[in-house]
Amino acid sequence: MAADPQHSPRRRLSTQERREQLLTVGARLFAQNPYDDVWIEQVAEIAGVSRGLLYHYFPTKRDFFAAVVQRESDRMLRLTTAEPGLPVREQLGTGLDAFLGYVEGHAQGFRAFHRAKEAGDPTVRAVYGEGLAAQERQILAALTADPETAPLTAEPAALKLAVRGWLAFMVAVCLEWLDEPELTRAQVRDLCARALLGAILPWPDSGSRSTPLSSTDTLRRAGSPRRSAP
C-alpha cells in the first residue's frame, strides 16, 4: 500500500540547512521589529524547534542577530564582487543590477542588516560596521584598479568620504524603494549610478589645485553620459 504523502515523515535538516532556516526566520523578525522586541522563544516557535536547539546554534540573542547581519553582509559582498579587468562603468551597471536583485529578493535580510545600526549591542553594531567598511573597500579597490578612475585616488580622503556618502544614499534609496516601489529596477540602478559618478567626479569649476581630481580629461571620459545595459 502506497504511503500517504500527508503522513510521510519530514526529512531531517542538515546542520547547515537548520542554521539557514533559523537565520531566515531571524531576518524576518529583525526586519519587522526593533532588536529588543525580538524574543528567542518566538524564533524557536516559528522555526518549529525547541529553544534548547536554537541555543545550541546561537548561545545568545546577540550572537543570533550578529549571525543574521553577517550572513547578509557576506551575501551582498559576494553578489557585487568586482571582476578584474572590467571598466568601472561596466562593473557599476552589473554590480548595481545584482545588488538591486538582492534587495528585491531578500528584502527582509536587507532591512534586518540595516536595523543593526540601531541595535544597542556593541557586538552587533561592530559586525554591521565591518560590513559597511567591506563594501567601501570593495568600491575603492575597483576605482583604483581602473585606469580611467585611478587618478581620482590621488586624494584618498575625499574619495573615501564620497564613497561612504554614496553608500548611505544608496541604502536610503533602496529602503524607500522597497516601501514605495514606484520606480523600476533600471530606474533605481541609473539613479544610483549617476549619484556615484556625481560624488566622485570633480566639479568643472572647482578651482582645485590638485591635478588628478581636476583633470578635464578624466571628467570628460568618466563623466560623459553612457547608458547602462538594462
Q: Which pLDDT tens digit goes with each residue over 161-174?
A: 999 999 999 999 99
Alpha helices in the chain (DSSP H): 15-32, 40-47, 51-57, 61-79, 88-105, 107-115, 122-145, 156-179, 185-200, 211-214, 216-223
Q: What is the pLDDT of residue 205?
A: 61
pLDDT band at residue 13, thresholds of 50, 70 and 90? Answer: confident
User: For residue 227, is pLDDT > 50?
Assistant: no
User: For residue 221, is pLDDT > 90?
Assistant: no
Q: Which pLDDT tens digit goes with each residue over 21-76?
A: 999 999 999 999 999 999 999 999 999 999 999 999 999 999 999 999 999 999 99
Q: Is the pTM of this model over 0.75?
A: yes
Task: Kindly state the cell numbers that stand for 226.
Answer: 553612457
Q: What is the pLDDT of residue 208?
A: 47
Distance CA 164, CA 7 (A): 54
Distance CA 84, CA 86 (A): 6
Distance CA 36, CA 91 (A): 39
Distance CA 186, CA 205 (A): 31
Beta carbons within 8 Å of 149's beta carbon, 6+ residues apart: 88, 143, 200, 218, 222
193 CB neighbour count, 10 Å cutoff: 18
Closest CA to 230 of 182, 178, 193, 201: 193
Q: Which pLDDT tens digit goes with each residue over 131-141?
A: 999 999 999 99
Q: Which amino acid makes up residue 230?
A: P
pLDDT band at residue 206, thresholds of 50, 70 and 90? Answer: low
Q: Which amino acid makes up residue 150?
A: A
Q: At what angle do helices 122-145 and 61-79 cross, to 10 degrees?
A: 10
Which H helix or E strand runs over 224? none
Q: What is the pLDDT of residue 224?
A: 41
